[in-house]
Amino acid sequence: MKNQSIHEPQAKLMSAADVWQDAQTLREVLRHNLPKVEPIVKLSVPFSFFLSALEDFSPDELVMVRQRVEERLAA
């Protein structure tokens, strides 16, 4: 291990139980927010590349694309 200085030498260190509780809280927050996460695809490519990329999409991803296209066509 390297010897390093402590940024805040007067700060209290967390106990193992506190670290575990923080990790559990973070896990629950992430689990709660997971359904809200949307896939992001940014493309500035020729249309033929986009069509080629569709070949690699999973069935679930293709359904998302279809739903979005249907929404755009309905607007």
Euclidean distance between the first and the last CA atom of the chain, given in angstroms as a whole number: 60
**Contact by Cβ (8 Å): 65, 54:** yes
**Contact by Cβ (8 Å): 40, 62:** no
Residues of the chain with pLDDT under 70: 1-6, 37-38, 40-41, 43
User: In terms of Cα–Cα distance, which of 11, 6, 68 is closest to 40?
Assistant: 68
Which pLDDT does position 10 carry in this prediction? 79
Which pLDDT does position 71 carry in this prediction? 92
Domain boundaries, the chain: 38-75
Q: For the whole prediction, is pTM greater than 0.75?
A: no
Which pLDDT does position 59 carry in this prediction? 92
Report the alpha-carbon distance of residue 64 to residue 67 in Å, rounded: 5
User: In terms of Cα–Cα distance, which of 22, 41, 18 is closest to 30?
Assistant: 22
